[in-house]
Chain A
């Protein structure tokens, strides 16, 4: 903040940041919860829950594999639950 020149616009931005900080966090939490549910659906077949759309979800794996480690930690699983994915 200190390296930016002071201006009225910057002041409004800062004010907006102050007020929206907790709201942004809650929206991020809500969106993360939605993502977590989606990831569960995608990984469901590998976890033993039949998923008729499993074949199509395979296409998503390259995109979601990076999120897998954080996801299983959030779900309360310290180690990867899937034999095929050894992230930790």
Chain B
């Protein structure tokens, strides 16, 4: 079967979901009112609250939520075969992610553009807000550790990409300053920056001297390097230290200096990447060689682990933070929420879809697929590398040599991961400071103290898991924990939307059903991992994963109990009733 069929079926499901299901949700459930005065108009200040054209806002929303996570998760999850992965990406996007992103946007718009954390406090109580903050703290900690590993891993596997990624930093600072001082357009300078980066990638692909290959510098794979560590371990250590120094600086600078101009360049990369992959798919017309379902995947059951492995590819709690954090303050008309929120999640689903297609069409035979994806741990370690090679294979359809394409795709993935890492460390700093204010611990409310805690804890978490290549190479082991905290956050946000609907006397089944499904699958997956895989009494015990898994479980059960007791008591709230 051709990979194009998967893209066509996926496109059709997304189209039907948007055309019919989101219309039903907009009209019958959320009851959008075109005459409602949105926060963008009510509190218009030209900075945070700005009425924005729906196409522009959708583009911004999509580029904010799309990153490396919807690529990494599906690339691992095809371990169980392509059918389960495709089904969850399509159905999850249409019935869970779309409703979630759309719902959190509407909920925030109906409540002065407040964030989901503040709304949790209003709907459930002050304790819920603190628990919510702790869950987000754990989520961003996992994001930092996993994405630091992703970048270090790609720098080691694709050393030709390093130069382009580092060139991007001064270019972004230059763009940020020139726009700030001259107030000009960023379009041309950012396109020039992109061209310089890709030129560097092309040159570095052919000139080994420009490939910053730390493993080679340390004597090659198998050699002993610093402090008796293997060359690969030493390379991981150096890259993780470099990354952490970088994110410390990047996350304490004003966002307009580095983060946003780099986001701007990355948005081009997202468009370029999606364009190359879908066009390459059309021109190469590759056959799917991976099995429909992998009968040899017996070590870890797909049910329910698939749902936390795909993570952002189907539904993501992070989107609720974007919906309620920025997009809700810029919505021109309430009816635009359907286009911005629902279609934003469809964009993320399209990225996950092409990631699956790139992986399942890469191998010449099913045997080679099962040899690489020989176990869940092997799949977790290899998934991202396979995606890059699969994407490079699709790009050859456009006449791009495979080695150059692999370098460019790895530059794109590293750029996404670096932006996520940068924003995530910044967010972690804010949360630590907020918790410091809440519990009156003044030292941790200081920027540099909070950033140091964020960076040191993230670096430690990245380095502790042991992979097959030694120290620092096992960051992928944290992926299920990242998936879990992300899915739980989405479940809690759906619960908030459901409570709001219930209190307004509306039908809340379209939000409570995906909420129960996501929560149940995630909790089940986490409980089974914590107690049957990571616990000290099991053969594969891992105290680090066990501790974090147990903490996430306790926080989640606590917040759920608090929420259900609030519902049972029919707690009076200050939420605006809009029925």
Chain A contact residues, CB within 8 Å of chain B: 1, 12, 14-23, 25-30, 32, 70
Contacts and interface: CB of A to CB of B under 8 A. Distances in A.
Given A15-B187, A30-B180, A22 B56 contact: no
B256 A30 contact: yes
Contacts of A18: 55-56, 59-60, 63, 267
A28 B60 contact: no
Contacts of A15: 59, 187
B170 to A, nearest CB: 17
Interface stretch (B44-52, B119-127, B447-455): B44-52
B500 interface: no
Interface in B48-84: 48, 50, 52-53, 55-57, 59-60, 63-64
Contacts of A14: 53, 55-56, 59
B52 A21 contact: yes
B47 A19 contact: no
Question: Chain A: interface secondary structure?
Answer: helix
Given A18-B63, A29-B47, A23 B53 contact: no
Contacts of B185: 16, 20
Interface in B27-53: 45-48, 50, 52-53
B254 A30 contact: yes
B435 interface: no
A19 B189 CA distance: 13
B239 interface: no
A1 B56 CA distance: 10
18 contacts: A16-B186, A17-B53, A18-B59, A19-B186, A20-B187, A21-B56, A22-B64, A22-B260, A22-B326, A23-B260, A25-B47, A25-B48, A26-B254, A26-B256, A27-B180, A29-B47, A30-B256, A32-B47
A27 B48 CA distance: 11
A29 B47 CA distance: 6
B168 interface: no
A21 B60 contact: yes
Given A25-B48, A26-B254, A32-B47, A20 B186 contact: yes
Contacts of A70: 45
A1 B53 contact: yes
B21 to A, nearest CB: 24
B190 interface: yes
B55 to A, nearest CB: 6
A1 B51 CA distance: 14
B264 A28 contact: no
A6 B56 CA distance: 15
B59 A19 contact: yes
B255 interface: yes
Nearest to A32: B47
Contacts of B56: 14, 17-18, 21
A40 B176 CA distance: 27
A22 B187 contact: no
A15 B191 CA distance: 12
Nearest to A25: B47
Interface string B238-263: 00000000000000001110001101
B179 interface: yes
A57 to B, nearest CB: 25
A32 B186 CA distance: 20
A21 B57 contact: yes
Contacts of A12: 187
Contacts of B50: 25
Nearest to B59: A18
Nearest to B261: A23
Contacts of B55: 1, 14, 18
Given A18-B59, A19-B63, A21-B52, A26 B260 contact: yes
Nearest to A20: B186
A21 B268 CA distance: 14
B47 A28 contact: yes
Interface in B202-226: none
* 8 closest cross-chain pairs (CB), A and B: A18-B59, A26-B256, A16-B187, A23-B260, A21-B60, A17-B56, A28-B47, A19-B267
Given A23-B176, A23-B256, A27-B256, 6 more contacts: A1-B55, A18-B59, A19-B264, A25-B50, A27-B183, A28-B47
Contacts of A1: 53, 55
Given A1-B53, A18-B63, A20-B186, A26 B255 contact: yes
A70 to B, nearest CB: 8
